Amino acid sequence: MGNDLVQQQLSFTIKQLERAAEEIRSFLNSTTLESIVQEGESNSKGDYTDILDQLRRILVFFDDGRESGYLLLRSETFRKSAAEKTLYWIFHQCIEEFFQPKLDVWYEDSRAAYTGKNAIQFRVPVSEQLKGLVKTIEGPLQEVREELEYYETDYRTKMRQRENEY
């Protein structure tokens, strides 16, 4: 891939991460555990604590990925290999973490593409506010995911080739 294409891809990805991070940050800054428990259908604070912890975890990854991308875009000379490595990291740590969270508080319904519904399904009943947050960021992150799947295979191929050279 040419420098311009990688640079455009990085810029697009950073913008999407920034939008998603702002949505999550706004939600976390205006929501308390008690308000989520009251609005939700589950009485278990532990379920909602895990959801909020997962959102915080994702927010940290989004901010790290965004910051790394901005540093590369602002540097005097664009370093294509560093940008590709950053996009690979963003794919795994940000996008895949959203769709397959470590804390397993939601899951991706693979049939969603056929039904026209949102792919993210919570493991416990949650408030409309929380569903709305995930719905808002799911689409843009799905776009990024589709765009960055290339780096998943391309980066691994390059790493294997380098290993074979030694």
pLDDT for the residue 149? 84
Q: How far is CA 125 from the centre of its chain?
A: 22
pLDDT for the residue 116? 64
pTM of the model: 0.86
DSSP 11: H
Nearest one of 64, 51, 62, 66 to 25, comparing CA atoms = 62
How confident is the model over 24-80, as pLDDT tens digits? Answer: 999 999 998 888 888 776 667 888 999 999 999 999 999 999 999 999 999 999 999
Position 139 pLDDT exceeds 60: yes
Token couple for 70: 């901005």
d(CA 35, CA 116): 30
DSSP E strand stretches across the chain? 106-108, 120-122
- Strand, helix or coil at 7? helix
pLDDT for the residue 138? 94
Q: How confident is the model at residue 162 (pLDDT cuts 50, 70, 90)?
A: low
- Strand, helix or coil at 44? coil
